[in-house]
Every structure is written in structure tokens, then in C-alpha cells.
Amino acid sequence: MSDIDLKKTLLQHLDSLRWSGLGDLPQTGALEFDFSDLEAAPDTQPAKPPQSPKSATEQAPAKVAAEPTPSKPTPAQPAPPTLLAEGDYGDVISDAGQRSAALKVIAEEVSACTKCAELCSNRTKTVFGVGSAEAKIVFLGEGPGANEDQQGEPFVGAAGQLLDKILTASSLSREQVYIVNVVKCRPPANRNPTDDEIKNCWNYLERQLEIIQPTHIVCLGSVAAKSLLNTKLSLGKMRKQWHQYRGSKVIVTYHPAYLLRTPTAKKHVWEDMKLLMAEFGVEL
């Protein structure tokens, strides 16, 4: 006999005794309990815990499980892009010491350069570049500021400190990457370098990249991006996608100096760094 039948029989028996004149019997309401679980489940089966989506699938009718689903043909996967197409950068200098020596030769040329009359007459020091000669990632800015002009090193002022924070947050260090500018001398009053100045200085940058052969270049600001990619597109239109410069994948983001003036743009730079580091299997 099921619990439901047992209860009904008991209630009927109590009612019949009560109606027969017997007192001190429990009211049938005291025996009330929730039938819903029993009505929803078979008498002989214990209540089952809720099924997860996985277990529900596993308990699908045997007929369905027994019929194998015809396998669909897997579409061919496109081949991953080649990061260093042969010949893009010419011969690779495999020895780190030779790369550093080759960069030093160019740095000496730069230090004596007088191609831009206004810039070279106002500079304190040329700012060649800093970092690993074997860096996979090159950060490219536009030109030195006052602090850089004094110290001869790129990104050492407030913007440089912010760049350091971005690098650290991205699991990178200055020693792992290479940092360089489009022009090696400070434009007066921090103005943008002119097209002629960029053109005059371009060969130095080109040769630096040929020696380092980075897989990835991060353009910091629109001057760097427009120069490297030879485009007039706005920075906003260039962000969030990969570009190509010879053998390197290029990403465009805001200059740290812009972030100092517009802190709300930091989240966009962080998105770009996530995109960059994902290329190296690093999840930020």
C-alpha cells in the first residue's frame, strides 16, 4: 500500500471512529502533510536530486543514445598567419652580441646626425632606443620629450613611468622589450615632428627594426602609427585590429602622455595589451 492510500485509510478510520462517538481522537488536520512530492514521484522511488545539464544528457532515452549521430565533416581550418615571412626583414642576425653591436653603430650615426636643422640645434642628447636587441615586442613612440632629451633615453618622464606600469601589469619589463621613437631628437615645445623630420629619421628606425626583427610592434599614439603604417586613418579606426609592417604584426594604442591627460582611456590601452599578450599565451 502506498503512503497516500495508507493516509486516506487512516483518515477514514479516524473519521468513522469520531462519527461513532469516540472522543479525544486527533483531528485529521494534524496528520496533514505535503502530498506533492509523493504525487510527483513513483511510490517506490526515492526523491532524486536536481539533474545537471550533463546528467540529463546522460539519462536521455536509450533509443536516442543507441542511434549514433552522423558525424559532420569538419571544415578545413585556415593556416595561422606567418609572423616572419621570409625576406621581410632580410638576413637575421642570430647572435645577440652582433645585434647589439649593429645597433651601436647606428646609435653613433644618430648622435652625430644634423639632418634636421631645428632639432639638432636644440637637442641636448639624441635618444636612440633602449631594451633588448632580441626583443619580440617593440614599443614605438613619436619623439623625445624634455626628460628624454636630458637623459638620452626614451620614456623616462611621467609618461615613461606610466609605460613602465603598463609593462609591469602586462608581465613585461623594459629589459624584455625594445622602446624607440620615430624621431631621435626632441621637437621644440613638444610639438609633433614634421613629415620632413620623420622622413629624415626614418632610415634609422628602419634599420633598428631590421636588426631586432620583432614579431610584434606596439604603436603608441597616432604619429607612430601613421608613420609606420603609412596611413592617414585616425587612431580610433586603427585600434583593435592587427596590422602588418614587413615581418611584424602591429597593434595601435594610445600614447601614455595622452593617458596622463585622459585617464579614462586607460581601459582602452588595457584592452589592447590583452590583445597583444594573448599572442604570447599570456592572459591578463
Using CB under 6 A, list all residues that contact ligand SF4.
Answer: 110, 113, 115-116, 119-120, 126, 183-185, 197, 200-201
Q: What is the closest distance, in whole angstroms, from the C-beta atom of residue 199 to ligand SF4 in the complex?
A: 9
Q: What is the closest distance, in whole angstroms, from the C-beta atom of residue 188 to ligand SF4 in the complex?
A: 12
Type and span of the H or E element at 271: helix 266-278
- Decide: 238 and 196 in contact? Cβ < 8 Å: no
157-179: string of b/e by CB count within 10 Å (b at 16+)? bebbebbbebbeebebebeebbb
Q: What is the closest distance, in whole angstroms, from the C-beta atom of residue 284 to ligand SF4 in the complex?
A: 34
Nearer Cβ to ligand SF4 (204/254)? 204
Q: What is the closest distance, in whole angstroms, from the C-beta atom of residue 255 to ligand SF4 in the complex?
A: 18
Q: What is the closest distance, in whole angstroms, from the C-beta atom of residue 205 to ligand SF4 in the complex?
A: 9
Q: Which of 284, 81, 33, 96 is nearest to 172 (CA)?
A: 284
Nearer Cβ to ligand SF4 (110/257)? 110
Measured on CA atoms in the order 135, 86, 224, 108, is the torsion positive or negative?
Answer: positive
Nearer Cβ to ligand SF4 (122/161)? 122
Nearer Cβ to ligand SF4 (119/219)? 119
- End-to-end distance of the chain based on CA atoms, in angstroms? 63
Q: What is the closest distance, in whole angstroms, from the C-beta atom of residue 187 to ligand SF4 in the complex?
A: 8
Q: How many residues does the chain have?
A: 284
DSSP state of 21: T
199-231: string of b/e by CB count within 10 Å (b at 16+)? ebbeebbeebbbbbbbebbbbbbbbbbbbbbee
Nearer Cβ to ligand SF4 (123/249)? 123
Q: What is the closest distance, in whole angstroms, from the C-beta atom of residue 146 to ligand SF4 in the complex?
A: 16
Nearer Cβ to ligand SF4 (193/247)? 193
Nearer Cβ to ligand SF4 (14/113)? 113
The owner of cell 626628460 is 147
CA 84/CA 281 separation, integer angstroms: 18
Q: What is the closest distance, in whole angstroms, from the C-beta atom of residue 127 to ligand SF4 in the complex?
A: 9
- If you write DSSP's letter for every residue of 224-251 in order, what string do you get? HHHHHHT----HHHHTTS-EEETTEEEE
Nearer Cβ to ligand SF4 (18/125)? 125
